[in-house]
Amino acid sequence: MSNALTQDNLDTRREQPVADGSLLIGGQWRPAASGHTLDVYSPIDGRRLCGIADAAQADVELAVRSARDAFERGTWSRMAPAERKRILHRIADRIESHHAELAVLGVRDNGTEIGMAWKAEPGSAASTFRFYAECVDKINGDIAPTPHGTLGLVHREPVGVVGAIVPWNFPLMIGAWKIAPALAAGNSVVLKPSEEASLSLLRLAQLCLDAGLPEGVLNVVTGQGRTAGDALARHPDVDVLTFTGSGPVGRRLLQASAESNLKRVYLELGGKSPNIVFADTPDIARAAEVSALGLFRNSGQVCVAGSRLLVQRPVHDEFVEELTRVARSLRVGDPLRLDTQVGAVSNPAQLARNLSAVEKAQQEGARLIAGGEALFPVAGGHYMAPTVFTDVKPDMALAQQEVFGPVLAVLPFDDEAEAVRIANDSAYGLAAGVWTSDLSRAHRMVRAVRAGVVHVNTYGGSDITVPMGGVRQSGNGHDKSLHALDKYLDLKTAWIQL
């Protein structure tokens, strides 16, 4: 079947049945030990897609043992780097050859509009595997400048078993950000997808096997966070845990590490990212459009979304009017329609949280000027109108708490110093945006705003070559780029008397 992005292809693939899932452990697909499954319902129309295996602690134990056995056997960890590189490239080839299948499967599972999912999910995953494939044979040690008569060598070695827990908003992209560098470094992986969106990662796992990844090197346990996720976080034979998701879950993972084997835990926990518009913004219309899409795409379910819009007073009214016009013009609907610009909210619980945030903002005195309600473009589905609030004060919940939905808080400011104060008045520090014609101001703001990523005269769109990570309660460690390899490698010193 063609991989072309056409409406006929999308309509055909959306009707394909999805088989009830199993766990991948030791290269074999098997049911959960309990025999239980979790029903998967599509946010597009509320229909049941399939079931996924509901892994218990015994399944996680088996998966970790399989990963450890594979690591100790050396079928991957001691494979020649050139061969590991070829296999990672073959995985990328298979992702590309199944591009449409993976994209549509993911959209049916989590509701991202196909125009975004096409590039962000299989497109990004393939490029991520290729990037780290090219790193495999370039991971070198060091020779230290030691005193005469000694030789100091620094080896870089794989950590062993990596546990990866992945969210539902971009499972294939974020999954690749974690799986590919962990594999490139020579580790084995136990992957726990979100129970809200596991299907594209299950398909990826089979493609990895088809590409020649040895059995046991990648294991996938689906199921609930409080059982499978907790068991993975507490397992004493997991060396590193990497997670993208909410702050409360991140805290529980740190606690699980402290109560088990003190495994290293790397967290990406979302944010309340400020998008700062100065009066000298070079193109108000373009900045308003990019800022709107920087929040409302994927129904606001993007960790770096610019959900706090700070606008300098001389252009505040003009900018808000233009952004609101864009917000109202966005087509919300069936995410498998090519003309849809904003897809479904991933699950009914998230939609309820979004609407609760709207209600609380109104109670605190913010002014609703667009959206604020659930929509019903497809019967049985979960959708929400792009929502804009003005008259938001920095201490309101809408300015402090992550909604993870299409709800924008607009705050005015007078000068650069006030913009920095408001931007940094947050527990988070994941991303930010700055719009200005003043190059010196742009550099000052990049230095002053506490965030892991600062966009200038744009918002979003960075690729695999640069790191992704935050500060403060947005987490620690980095995905993407060469820096991501640091999480999955240990340093070992050899001190040799000559």
Tell me whether residue 355 is in a domain.
Answer: yes
Vertex 21, ends 15 and 27: CA angle to 5°? 125
Average pLDDT over residues 456-465: 94
Number of domains the chain contains: 2
Q: Quick one: 455 and 487 in the same domain?
A: no
Task: Give ∠ CA 276-280-286 in degrees, rounded to 5.
Answer: 70
Query: What is the spatial order of strands in the sheet that 264-268 belongs to?
Result: 28-30, 23-25, 218-220, 188-192, 161-165, 240-244, 264-268
For residues 150 and 177, state if they share a domain.
Answer: yes
User: Beta partners for 193?
Assistant: none
The packing angle between helices 99-110 and 199-210, to 10°, is 160
Domain, as residue range, for 109: 7-269+475-495
The CATH number of residue 369's host domain is 3.40.309.10
- Where residue 34 falls among pLDDT bands split at 50, 70, 90? confident
**pLDDT of 19:** 87
DSSP helix/strand/coil, 407: strand
pLDDT at 459: 97
302 has a pLDDT exceeding 80: yes
Is the per-residue pLDDT at 380 higher than 90? yes
Amino acid sitting at position 415: D
In this prediction, residue 1 carries a pLDDT of 65
Q: DSSP readout, 282-348?
A: S-HHHHHHHHHHHHHGGGG--TT---EEEEEHHHHHHHHHHHHHHHHHS-BS-TTSTT-SB---S-H
Confidence of residue 4 (pLDDT cuts 50, 70, 90): confident
180 within 8 A of 132, measured Cβ to Cβ: yes
Query: Is there a single domain that holds both residue 92 and residue 113?
Result: yes
**Whether the predicted pLDDT of 266 surpasses 90:** yes
Q: From residue 403, give the alpha-carbon distance in Å to each of 351, 355, 361, 398.
A: 10, 10, 11, 8
Q: What pTM did the predictor assign?
A: 0.96
Residue-level pLDDT at 173:
98
The CATH number of residue 112's host domain is 3.40.605.10
pLDDT tens, 392-442? Answer: 999 999 999 999 999 999 999 999 999 999 999 999 999 999 999 999 999
Task: For residues 204 and 223, give the distance between their C-alpha atoms in angstroms, rounded to a whole number.
Answer: 17
Residue 476, both tokens: 């620690």
pLDDT at 3 over 90: no
Helix (H) or strand (E) holding 38: strand 37-41
pLDDT digits (tens, 9 = 90+) for 113-128: 999 999 999 999 999 9
Is 488 found in the same domain as 421? no
pLDDT at 149 over 90: yes
348-363 burial, b for 16+ CB within 10 Å, e for fewer?
eebbebbbebbeebee
Residue 461: what pLDDT? 81
φ, ψ at 453 (rounded to 5°): -135, 125
Q: Active-site residue numbers?
A: 268
Q: Residues 467-476: what's their mean pLDDT?
A: 97
Same domain, yes or no: 261 and 302: no
